[in-house]
Amino acid sequence: MGGKKKVRAIAALARRVREYWAQRDRRQRRDSQRLELDYGTMRRVASGKRLPALAHRDVRTESRLFPLLARLPLFGIGRMVTTKSWLLEHGPACYWRLHKVRVDYTAQDLDHGKAWGVLTFKGKTEDTVREMDRVMYHDWRLVPKHEEEDFMSFTHVPEENIRYVPYPPLLRAMILAEKEKMGEPAGEEPMIDLERIRHFPKDYFKNLDLKKQAEGTAV
């Protein structure tokens, strides 16, 4: 007959304390630890996740935000920064104006932290200062001072709101054939109203298929 299992209360408590400390360390892990990258394997050291293959070239040739700011007085407060993807897609219409920087002084080369600024996107400048996102991406570029005037003088072209678009050819032919079958005049060209909100019952499309099967196809 086996002996009664002993309850080791102190050992159980110590195990729970160690689990709590590990969980607290994961929550309080700094960005410099969480986002540390092994440039040889292109994997995050903490999570082991590999970067997408399309990002490998930018990682080797482009820079994150804070390595750029670390070389500037006051970490670039007041300067303008943009990204390579914005320059390729929108030109000088998108940039950040830096207002506040919080550097992670425990990071190597001071290359991590948080930054706040005013965003100008497609020529529209926001009214409030907010935290800048994607500062860890290898995509940032500093706007030279002699080019800042070109960025600020960009004139925003208002986007044209398109409400009506033509139907696809097959659907257009089906609509016209349905009108001809019902004896209705063709009238104006059928168009799709993009701003119209349509609400369909749960079994609308099922009943529509059953109706088409019973009547046959118009075309």
Longest CA–CA separation in the chain, Å: 96
| pLDDT > 70: percent of the chain | 86
Average pLDDT score over residue span 48-74: 86
The helix or strand, by DSSP H or E, that contains position 166, with its residue range, turns out to be strand 164-166
Residue 154 banded pLDDT, cuts 50, 70, 90 = confident
The structure's pTM equals: 0.58
CA–CA separation, 107 vs 78, rounded Å? Answer: 23
- Kind of pairing, strands 140-142 and 80-83? antiparallel
* pLDDT top residue among 154 and 97: 97
**What residues contact residue 45 under an 8 Å CB cut-off, 6+ apart?**
36, 37, 38
The answer to whether residue 219 scores a pLDDT higher than 90 is no
